[in-house]
Chains A and B, each alone.
Chain A
Amino acid sequence: MSDKTIDRVASATPARVARKVKGLSDRAIAWIFVGPTIFLLLAINIFPLIWTINLSFTNFKANRVNRAVEYIGLRNYERILTDGDIWLSMQATAHFLFWTLFFQVLLGFTLAWLINKKFRGNDMWTTIIVLPMMLSPAVVGNFWTFLYQPQIGLFNYVVSFFTGVDPSSFDMLGSVDLAPWSIVIVDTWMWTPFVMLICLAGLRSIPDYIYEAAEIDRASKLRQFFTITIPMVLPFLMLAVLFRGIENFKMFDLVVQLTGGGPGSVTEMASINLKREAFEKWRTGYSSAFAIILFVTVFGLASIYVKALNKVKER
C-alpha cells in the first residue's frame, strides 16, 4: 500500500462503514453530498417562487384561508401596472436609487482616488472610512433618527452652523420636501465606503508602467486621468453601481427605521408598499403579482450584473 495521506485516511475508515460505502458508485456518493443542498434550494427558493407565481393569478387572501380561491388571470398585473399609487412608489424608489448612486459613485471614487495616493496613515483612514458599512441598518436608522431631531439633533446644528438657518426651523424626517433627501444622505453615508473599496481595487489593478509610458509620451496628468484611470476603473465602477442599484431597489430596513414610508407616502418605496399590500391589507394574490414584477426587474438587473462581472474577470 502506498504511503499517501488519502490511503492512510481510507485505511483508517472503520470496516463497517467502508463496507457500506463500497457498494456505491462515485456518482451516487456525489449525489448524497449534493442532495441536501439541492433539496434545501428547491424547498426554500424554487418552490416559494413557483407558488408565488401561482398565487399572482388568484384573488387569494392569506387572512381568509377558508374563502374559495378564484383564478383571475392577469387582472392583478393589470391593476398594478395601471395603479397610480404604485407608480408613485416606483418614482420614490427611482429618486432614492438615482441620487444614492450619483453621490456614492462621486464620493466613493473621489475617496478611492485620494486613498490610493501614498501617504502616512493611509491604512488607518481606510479603516475609519469603511466603518459605517459594517454597522447594522437598524442601528444606523436609529442613531440617524436622533441626529435628525430638530431640537437636539447634531445634523440640524451642523446645517445651522454653515447656513445660519435656525436648527429647529426644519425637520428632515417630518418634511415632505426633505424626507426623501434624509434617506439619501443616510444611505450615502453608509454605503459610499463600499463603492470606495471596489474603486480602490480597480485603481490598484492599474499597472504603473502604463502611467510611466504616458509620462514618456508627455501626456498631462489630466489626460492620464481621462484616458487611463477612468477607462480602467470603469468596469469596477459599473459593478459597484449595479450592485448598489440592485440592493437599493430592494431597500426596506433603513427607510422603515427612518421614516416608515412617510410623511404621507413620499418615502414609500416599492418594497414598503409591497409589505403593506401583503401584510396590512392582506391582498396576497395582488402582492404576489407585485413581488413577481419586482423579482423580474431585479433578476434582469442581476443578469446585467453578471455580464459586467464576467467582463471584469476577463481583464
Chain B
Amino acid sequence: MTRFFRGLFTLKRGPWEMVATLLIAVGVFMLMQPFVMWAYTYSFIVTLVGTVMFIIVSHFAEQE
C-alpha cells in the first residue's frame, strides 16, 4: 500500500495506470447500471477522464 502511494506521489506509471483503469471500469459500470440515472449521466465524464489519464500516465517512468 505504501509502495502504491509512493508511486502516486513520485508520478510512477504502475499506480497511476491502476487509478486510470479503475476510473474507466467505474465509468463503464456507471454507463450500464440499471439503478440510478445520475450515475448514467456522469458516466461519460468519468470514462473520459480515465481514458485521457491512461494515455498520459502510460508515458510516466516505471516503478522500480
Q: A301 to chain B: which residues have CB within 8 Å?
A: 24, 28
A90: CB under 8 A from chain B? Answer: yes
List the one stretch of A91-99, A157-165, A199-207 in contact with chain B.
Answer: A91-99
Q: A304 to chain B: which residues have CB within 8 Å?
A: 21, 24-25
Q: B47 to chain A: which residues have CB within 8 Å?
A: 296-297, 300
Q: A84 to chain B: which residues have CB within 8 Å?
A: 37
Q: B32 to chain A: which residues have CB within 8 Å?
A: 90-91, 93-94, 97
Out of B21, B24, B40, name the residue touching A90 (CB < 8 Å): B40
Q: B21 to chain A: which residues have CB within 8 Å?
A: 303-304, 307
A244 shortest CB reach to chain B, Å: 14
Q: B63 to chain A: which residues have CB within 8 Å?
A: none
Total number of B residues with any Cβ neighbor in A under 8 Å: 24
Does A300 lie within 8 Å of B40, measured CB to CB?
Answer: no
Total number of A residues with any Cβ neighbor in B under 8 Å: 19
Does B44 lie within 8 Å of A300, measured CB to CB?
Answer: no
Q: A127 to chain B: which residues have CB within 8 Å?
A: none
Task: Give A residues with C-beta under 8 Å from B.
Answer: 77, 81-82, 84, 87, 90-91, 93-94, 97, 293, 296-297, 299-301, 303-304, 307
5 A-B interface contacts by CB (under 8 A): A81-B42, A81-B44, A93-B32, A300-B28, A303-B21
Per CB-CB distance, the 4 closest pairs between chain A and chain B, nearest first, are A94-B32, A300-B24, A300-B51, A303-B54
16 new A-B contacts, CB < 8 A, other than A81-B43, A299-B51, A304-B25, are A77-B44, A81-B40, A82-B37, A84-B37, A87-B40, A94-B32, A97-B32, A296-B51, A297-B27, A297-B31, A300-B50, A301-B28, A303-B21, A303-B51, A303-B58, A307-B21
